[in-house]
């Protein structure tokens, strides 16, 4: 690690005050519980509610019209499965040559007709090891044609049971993603590709179901549903843990999400170039397609979680907003019998169980 990088690394105790100042008193710390632990996540992970309709000047594809009061979930940068692998057992040494799936912030708002979401994707490989930082984003590389799922609870519709598995058996798009429906309510699940070339309504699908699970088929979304890929990000800071498991004197482990200490750094104060490597997704979804309307949004709102996979359409979620530790379970271990360049986190069944973030309604 360079001296410049070392000087940028700060202990979490030194960052607590500045992070609190950035986020403001309106943020409530997430009470989300890890699916396999009684411990809560550290204070960098946030889950909250945005209230109030979008202003008349709002345009979902214009980053300048998204504001901090629309922020509903915060993650931590550089916590994708790549950074936890012990490269000593890999054919290639480690997996930093792979493009990451690394989600950071999630925003939400609505108006009389639509729900709007925006989330940020970061790639700090240019800080970790510049020679492996590809200027071609994962969303523009067909090798990384990954599914993204957005789970919703509109509070007025039929809840999906059976851990959101398909009624016919298996999981949506063979993703191996499930939700613990005894802990979280879901009325709709939107499936889409992460590829820029497929961000059109013909490649977006909204599924419903009943207590037996998700209905097996749904038509594509209509032309009112839109999605955009936008370069850069709108975060004032990108807080995350620097380094990866093959970095000298740095050890990463998946329990760090519970701990209040760590080598946290603001990646915007490092060599990382957000304009070059980071990007965002923005989506516009008719409220009617989610079984609700503006009056319901005002009174009860919409709960939401975004889940993104890492590689292909048989790969489970490795990042989510709000964050759930299930995304990185097994990330320290190689999938020895399948692919020596991938971790178990990229192939194993996931069960999401943390509370969703919320748009609209009342606190």
Which stretches does DSSP call E strand in 70-129? Answer: 71-74, 103-110, 114-121
CA distance 102 to 71: 17
| Domain ranges, residue 255 | 3-143+223-299+308-359
Q: Do 232 and 63 touch, CB atoms closer than 8 A?
A: yes
Within a domain: 184:
no
Q: Which two tokens stand for residue 16?
A: 């607590």
Residues facing 103 on adjacent strands: 121
Average pLDDT over residues 66-78: 97
Q: Do 259 and 109 touch, CB atoms closer than 8 A?
A: no
Within a domain: 241:
yes
Within a domain: 331:
yes
Within a domain: 35:
yes
Within a domain: 334:
yes
Within a domain: 178:
no
Q: Do 5 and 127 touch, CB atoms closer than 8 A?
A: yes
Question: Which band of pLDDT confidence, cut at 50, 70 and 90, is reported for residue 338?
Answer: low
Q: Which two tokens stand for residue 102?
A: 């690394």
Q: Do 144 and 102 touch, CB atoms closer than 8 A?
A: no
C-alpha 155: how far from chain center: 22
Question: Which band of pLDDT confidence, cut at 50, 70 and 90, is reported for residue 336?
Answer: low
Q: Do 120 and 237 touch, CB atoms closer than 8 A?
A: no
Task: Express each pLDDT in 238-255 by its tens digit.
Answer: 999 998 886 556 688 899
Q: What is the DSSP string of 211-259?
A: TTEE-S--PBP-TT-EEEEEES---S--EEE---TTSTT----GGGGG-
The total number of structural domains that make up the chain: 1
Within a domain: 208:
no
Alpha helices in the chain (DSSP H): 3-8, 12-23, 125-128, 274-277, 294-299
Task: Express each pLDDT in 81-114 by its tens digit.
Answer: 889 887 544 445 567 878 899 999 999 999 999 9
Q: Cβ contacts of residue 326 below 8 Å, gap of 6+?
A: 35, 36, 317, 350, 351, 352, 353
Average pLDDT over residues 335-350: 74
Within a domain: 71:
yes
């Amino acid at each position: 690690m360079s001296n410049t990088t070392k000087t940028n690394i700060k202990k979490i105790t030194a960052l607590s005050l500045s992070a609190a100042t950035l986020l403001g008193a309106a943020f409530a710390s997430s009470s989300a519980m890890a699916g396999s632990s009684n411990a809560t996540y550290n204070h960098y992970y946030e889950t909250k509610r945005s209230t109030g309709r979008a202003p008349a000047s709002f345009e979902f594809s214009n980053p300048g019209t998204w504001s901090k009061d629309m922020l509903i979930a915060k993650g931590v940068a550089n916590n994708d499965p790549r950074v936890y692998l012990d490269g000593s057992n890999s054919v290639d040494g480690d997996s930093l040559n792979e493009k990451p799936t690394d989600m950071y912030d999630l925003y939400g708002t609505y108006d009389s007709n639509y729900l709007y979401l925006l989330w940020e994707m970061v790639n700090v490989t240019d800080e970790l090891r510049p020679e492996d930082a590809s200027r071609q984003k994962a969303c523009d590389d067909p090798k990384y044609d990954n599914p993204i799922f957005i789970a919703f609870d509109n509070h007025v519709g039929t809840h999906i049971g059976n851990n959101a598995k398909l009624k016919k058996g298996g999981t949506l798009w063979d993703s191996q993603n499930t939700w613990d429906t005894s802990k979280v309510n879901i009325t709709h699940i939107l499936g889409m590709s992460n590829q820029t070339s497929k961000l059109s309504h013909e490649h977006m699908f909204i599924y419903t179901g009943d207590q037996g699970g998700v209905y097996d088929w749904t038509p594509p979304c209509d032309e009112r549903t839109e999605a955009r890929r936008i370069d850069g990000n709108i975060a004032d800071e990108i807080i995350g843990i620097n380094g990866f498991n093959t970095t000298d004197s740095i050890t990463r482990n998946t329990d760090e999400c519970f701990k209040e200490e760590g080598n946290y750094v603001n990646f915007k104060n490092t060599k990382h170039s957000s304009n070059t490597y980071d990007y965002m997704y923005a989506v516009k979804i008719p409220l009617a397609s989610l079984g609700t309307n503006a009056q319901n949004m005002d009174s009860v709102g919409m709960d939401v979680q975004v889940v993104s996979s890492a590689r292909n359409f048989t790969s489970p979620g490795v990042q989510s907003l709000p964050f759930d530790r299930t995304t990185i379970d097994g990330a320290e271990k190689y999938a020895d019998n399948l692919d020596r360049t991938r971790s178990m986190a990229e192939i194993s069944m996931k069960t999401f169980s943390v509370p969703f973030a919320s748009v609209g309604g009342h606190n």
